[in-house]
């Protein structure tokens, strides 16, 4: 081009000119355009899988959500850590850091103390102290103990549910085997989808419960919202939340217990009774999860003046999974052809594009990923706006 030439040389022109003499360079050009688009767009992020799967996730409407990549990884779109709602990204970051920093202290307490038989708090038998009594130091020590006991309460409840989730995940194969045995018997019941539906509901509800404890630790503590609520307001909100949390916990445990029963050995009448119990508990736990999220969004976080703690919305069907997205680009902009199979959002892979579900949380700096040398010959025209790219 001549000096100060005003002609527009778009991607297709550059691609055609370069590909004639340097095909390899044309492929790099396409790859860098895609990566530049992904890393400069806050609604598009690379999947944080390790090793990296090569997928990039795009959401259309709300960047505050949780998504599941086609590689199987579920994560928070905002902070790229594991899916953690109803915790906000800040709460989850503080919680994981605190768990790392306090790990040695908790280990020491576990080894050197025993729970009191009445109040269940850790008690250390360390003999008599000597020296002068210092009131300020005693107050600091007492406060430190109180804060530590509070942290350990929420940590133990969080770990209890995460451990239960791991154990219940192992039940899946056993339950599928029971279903297979039941389907082979001569029985009036042939459809056992209510069992798998109940199991999936158990997994989702257990996950919500586990992350509700780090949320409660910061929501009703003094680390974040100390100036946002009076003690009376904090107490009222805590009672409101804990009532819902306990209702959900009780029904989740009921659902877990009944799913462990050997229904493959039961009579038809007993299986029918068990079926109704699981269906009812499935509906109840789903409703209680919804109510807990509504309480958090409206009564707890929604009532605060400076609310920067957005949480991913509750999804009854679970975290949305990526669906394949076929994008077919012609080299000429005027005849660009789009083949899209996703409604809410997309996931693009460096060698092939994918479709994906919506996501939620606050913006986060993009991260550089290892470059791939092959792009697969698929052109991702970044000159097209996002709303056009994902519209059939």
Percent above pLDDT 90 for the chain: 31
- The domain tally of the chain equals 2
**Statement to judge: residues 179 and 270 lie in one domain:** yes
The CATH number of the domain holding residue 171 is 1.20.120.1750
Residue 364 belongs to a domain:
no
Q: Tell which of 309, 344, 374 closes a domain.
A: 309
**Statement to judge: residues 183 and 162 lie in one domain:** yes
**Statement to judge: residues 65 and 96 lie in one domain:** no
Residue 217 belongs to a domain:
yes
**Statement to judge: residues 302 and 321 lie in one domain:** no
**Residues 364 and 80: beta-carbon distance below 8 Å:** yes
Give dist(CA 33, CA 18) in Å, integer. Answer: 14
Most confident of 76-80, 276-280, 372-376: 276-280
Residue 34 belongs to a domain:
yes
Q: Which of the four pLDDT bands, split at 50, 70 and 90, describes residue 110?
A: low
Residue 96 belongs to a domain:
yes
**Statement to judge: residues 249 and 106 lie in one domain:** yes
Residue 291 belongs to a domain:
yes
**Statement to judge: residues 109 and 244 lie in one domain:** yes
**Statement to judge: residues 297 and 320 lie in one domain:** no
Whole-number pLDDT of residue 341: 29
**Residues 178 and 264: beta-carbon distance below 8 Å:** yes
Q: Which of the four pLDDT bands, split at 50, 70 and 90, describes residue 355?
A: very low
Residue 99 belongs to a domain:
yes
Tokens of 253: 């445990």
**Statement to judge: residues 283 and 242 lie in one domain:** yes
Residue 365 belongs to a domain:
no
**Statement to judge: residues 298 and 316 lie in one domain:** no
Whole-number pLDDT of residue 84: 94
Residue 171 belongs to a domain:
yes
Whole-number pLDDT of residue 329: 34
Q: What is the value of pTM for the model shown?
A: 0.71
For 199-256, the pLDDT digits (tens) are 999 999 999 999 999 999 999 998 888 888 888 999 999 999 999 999 999 999 999 9
Is the bond into 215 cis (omega within 30 degrees of 0)? Answer: no
Q: Tell which of 270, 293, 325 closes a domain.
A: 325
Average pLDDT of the segment spanning 143-156: 87
Those residues whose C-beta lies under 8 Å from the C-beta of residue 18, and which sit 6 or more positions away, are 25, 26, 29
Who has greater pLDDT, 47 or 7?
A: 47
Who has greater pLDDT, 377 or 190?
A: 190
**Residues 78 and 63: beta-carbon distance below 8 Å:** yes
Whole-number pLDDT of residue 183: 83
Average pLDDT of the segment spanning 123-130: 55
**Statement to judge: residues 239 and 113 lie in one domain:** yes
Who has greater pLDDT, 382 or 69?
A: 69
Percent above pLDDT 70 for the chain: 71
The domain of 162 spans: 90-125+148-309
**Statement to judge: residues 41 and 67 lie in one domain:** yes
Q: Tell which of 245, 278, 309 closes a domain.
A: 309
**Statement to judge: residues 35 and 117 lie in one domain:** no
């Amino acid at each position: 081009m001549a000096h100060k030439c005003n002609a527009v040389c778009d991607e297709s022109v550059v691609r055609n000119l370069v590909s004639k003499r340097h095909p390899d360079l044309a492929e790099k050009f396409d790859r860098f355009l895609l990566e530049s688009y992904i890393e400069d767009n806050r609604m598009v992020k690379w999947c944080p899988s390790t090793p990296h799967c090569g997928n990039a996730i795009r959401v259309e409407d709300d960047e505050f959500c949780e998504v599941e990549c086609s590689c199987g990884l579920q994560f928070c779109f905002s902070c790229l850590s594991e899916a953690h709602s109803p915790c906000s990204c800040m709460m989850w970051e503080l919680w994981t850091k605190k768990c790392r920093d306090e790990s040695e202290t908790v280990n020491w307490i576990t080894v050197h103390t025993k729970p009191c038989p009445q109040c269940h708090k850790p008690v250390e038998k360390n003999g008599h102290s000597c020296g002068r009594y210092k009131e300020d130091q005693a107050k600091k020590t007492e406060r430190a103990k109180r804060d530590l006991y509070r942290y350990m309460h929420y940590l133990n409840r969080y770990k209890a549910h995460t451990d239960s989730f791991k154990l219940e995940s192992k039940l899946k194969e056993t339950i599928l085997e029971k279903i297979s045995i039941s389907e082979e018997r001569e029985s009036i019941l042939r459809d056992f989808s209510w069992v798998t539906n109940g199991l999936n509901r158990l997994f989702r509800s257990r996950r919500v419960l586990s992350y509700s404890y780090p949320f409660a630790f910061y929501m009703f503590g003094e680390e974040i919202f100390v100036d946002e609520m009076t003690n009376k307001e904090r107490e009222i909100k805590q009672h409101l939340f804990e009532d819902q949390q306990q209702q959900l916990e009780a029904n989740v445990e009921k659902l877990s217990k009944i799913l462990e029963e050997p229904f493959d050995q039961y009579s038809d009448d007993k299986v029918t009774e068990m079926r109704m119990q699981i269906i009812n508990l499935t509906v109840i736990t789903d409703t209680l999860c919804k109510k807990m999220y509504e309480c958090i969004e409206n009564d707890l976080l929604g009532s605060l003046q400076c609310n920067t703690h957005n949480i991913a919305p509750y999804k009854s069907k679970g975290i949305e999974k990526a669906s394949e997205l076929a994008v077919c680009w012609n080299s000429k902009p005027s005849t660009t052809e789009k083949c899209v199979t996703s409604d809410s959002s997309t996931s693009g892979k460096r060698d092939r594009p994918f479709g994906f579900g919506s996501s939620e949380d606050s913006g986060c700096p993009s991260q550089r990923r290892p470059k791939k040398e092959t792009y697969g010959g698929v052109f991702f025209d970044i000159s097209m706006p996002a709303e056009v790219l994902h519209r059939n």
